[in-house]
Amino acid sequence: MVDNEAIYDICRRKLNIERPSYTNLNRLISQVVSSITASLRFNSALSVDLTDFQTNLVPYPRIHFPLATYAPVVSAEKAYHEGISVAEITSECFEATNQMVKCDPRQGKYMACCLLYRGDVVPKDVNAAIAVMKSKSYIHFVDWCPTGFKVGINYQPPTVVPGGDLAKVQRAVSMLSNTTAIEEAWTKLNHKFDLMYNKRAFVHWYVGEGMEELEFAEAREDLAALERDYEEVALESPSTPDTLLEY
């Protein structure tokens, strides 16, 4: 999932772009998509394919909306001459400022995490970085789900558009996580829908194209049910995750 508000904020805060254009936004999103699909295009010792995401991230059919996070997001104007460590980029993945959706990860519980590294990364550094994250008191996992981190490492370094906003870096990571924190996004979306639908804003355009008003009510109830599903998932007490490095 990608949220316009989150992407705009990343461009403003991390890349110092006062008024981001669609090109700025798309170049940032493309880095995430590129990282997620890297193992489909390049050989690697620790690869992850799209089937692995479904297997590792989706505990129930309806709880299938992963939260995407990317690090590092470094401006080309402030390119680091020293490499950013695996520990640093891993830590950034658990910060709200690097998320593609606006929500507070510290208010939710993780069901699973997939960490997809690119570039100069070795398993030893990944294990050490995850061990540090496990020690953080603000990272919680639900206790009913097999806990762990699915890790992918692709040695092909990340690439950027020449003359673009992003600096070329030695290593990067994209994290896909299934977390109850994303319920916050559904709550905001439902609230915005209610404000507009109560005034029947734009409804006539859809009805004019053949939709019925009942379909709006059904869709709203489905989102309300999804919100409740995430609330129920979050009821369990947190537990400490174990590390799963799959070869």
* 179 neighbors 100 (Cβ within 8 angstroms): no
| Per-residue pLDDT, 68 | 97
* 3 state SS of 175: strand
Whole-structure pTM value: 0.89
| pLDDT tens by residue, 75-114 | 988 776 567 899 999 999 999 999 999 999 999 999 999 9
Torsion sign across C-alpha atoms 79, 47, 93, 67: positive
Which H or E run includes 189? Answer: helix 183-198
CA 69 – CA 86 distance, rounded (Å): 15
**pLDDT digit of tens for each residue in the chain (247 aa)?**
899 999 999 999 999 999 999 999 999 999 999 999 998 888 877 778 888 888 889 888 999 999 999 999 999 887 765 678 999 999 999 999 999 999 999 999 999 999 999 999 999 999 999 999 988 888 888 887 656 789 999 999 999 999 899 999 999 999 999 999 999 999 999 999 999 999 999 999 999 999 999 999 999 999 999 999 999 888 864 444 444 444 3
CA 196 – CA 204 distance, rounded (Å): 12
